Structure 1
Amino acid sequence: MVGITLTSAIMVYRLYFFSFSGLEGEHYKAPLPSPDGQYTADAYYNTYGGAAGGVNVWVDVTDHNNGDHVKTIYLGNAKEQFSLKWTDGETLYIQNETSGNNKYERSIELNVMTEIYHDTGLACQSLLLKETYETCYEHE
């Protein structure tokens, strides 16, 4: 009974209190400043699961007009092709795809002030993160 209660409590906690804190990994892409210099995007990665595992990739955006506040806006399973490109001062295009296979497409364009993406959708359900974005996307 204690095991079931503990497992349920952990699942509820992960579901509703998910945050991007605790992400640790290697720097993947050089800092990419926005056209107006207000933001800088950085990409990171970490491996999981050993030989049969995979690679997670995430993007942090630093707001230089807000005390260099850092916010994670993207977390997904890394694919063959990954790149970052600013389309304007507040919009970042994140390419994360396997060529020739749309099933594994994880690319998205995000307004760095109001939108986030989380592959599994935990961030979209998190009560802790609700105040940090207007729109949250997940892989379907």
Structure 2
Amino acid sequence: MHPLFRILGFFVLLFTAIVFFVFVVRLVIYFFKRTRFPRKTLVSALTGLIVFSGIFVYLQYFFSFDAIDRSHKQEGPATSSPAGQYTANAYYEPYGGAAGGVNVWIEVTDHAENATRTIYYADAKQQFSLNWIDEETLSVTNADEYPDSDRSAVLKVRKEIYDENGLACKSLLMKNDYEECYRYEKR
């Protein structure tokens, strides 16, 4: 769903920019030749701006991990916590065709509550592994040999999440799903 909103947002922005340019030209003509004020062009430009702003706000503040494209997912490593209450499953999501890459996300299943939630989402690197530190702490290794490529995290599975781009951290829909949200920051 997000790619469609991004494409729609681009075209709305393009339309708004063109209409705004036309409005400015007509406004200049209005001041020099005293013709009719370009109300329809102004209304069109403002409508485009409002629609674009709405799409931007939606993409920034109404994100959820449900937007992950699961249609082409590939299963990665899975591991159970020491006492067996949790199972962490990693999944891969290819994107961009031959020149693209792969995203990875981790879903943790709480067997006591029979609930599954996504706690990690990032670009997949060459070195990827999952290890339980204790019953509620999962260590995710996601690194490469390149500088600034480390997307590793240690997460308390009931309280913390990691989202590389930080959209989950800003999301109004997800703010009750975690106590702490981490995102990638260049070091």
User: CA RMSD of the aligned region, Å?
Assistant: 1.2
Which of 26, 33, 49 is the matching residue for 2:96? Answer: 49
The structure whose residues are more often strand, as a share, is: 1
**5+ residue gaps in structure 2?**
1-44
User: What CA deviation, in whole Å up to 9, does each residue of 1:28-53 have, x standing for no partner?
Assistant: 11x31100111000000111112222
Determine the structure 2 residue equivalent to 1:83. Answer: 129
1:4 aligns with 2:4: no
Provide the C-alpha distance between the structure 2 equivalents of 1:49 and 1:118, rounded to a whole number of angstroms. Answer: 20
Provide the C-alpha distance between the structure 2 equivalents of 1:112 and 1:102, rounded to a whole number of angstroms. Answer: 28
Determine the structure 2 residue equivalent to 1:26. Answer: 74
User: What CA deviation, in whole Å up to 9, does each residue of 1:99-128 have, x standing for no partner?
Assistant: 3x3410000100001000000000000011
Provide the identity percentage: 51
Letter in 2 for 1:58: W
Provide the C-alpha distance between the structure 1 equivalents of 2:104 and 2:183, rounded to a whole number of angstroms. Answer: 14
1:4 Cα deviation (Å)? Answer: 3.4
| Count of aligned pairs between the two proteins | 137
Determine the structure 2 residue equivalent to 1:132. Answer: 177
Partner-residue secondary structure (3-state), 1:12: helix
Larger radius of gyration: 2
* Length-normalised TM-score, structure 1: 0.92
* Length-normalised TM-score, structure 2: 0.70
**Higher relative contact order, structure no. (Cα contacts within 8 Å, ≥ 6 residues apart):** 1
**5+ residue gaps in structure 1?**
none
The structure whose residues are more often helix, as a share, is: 2
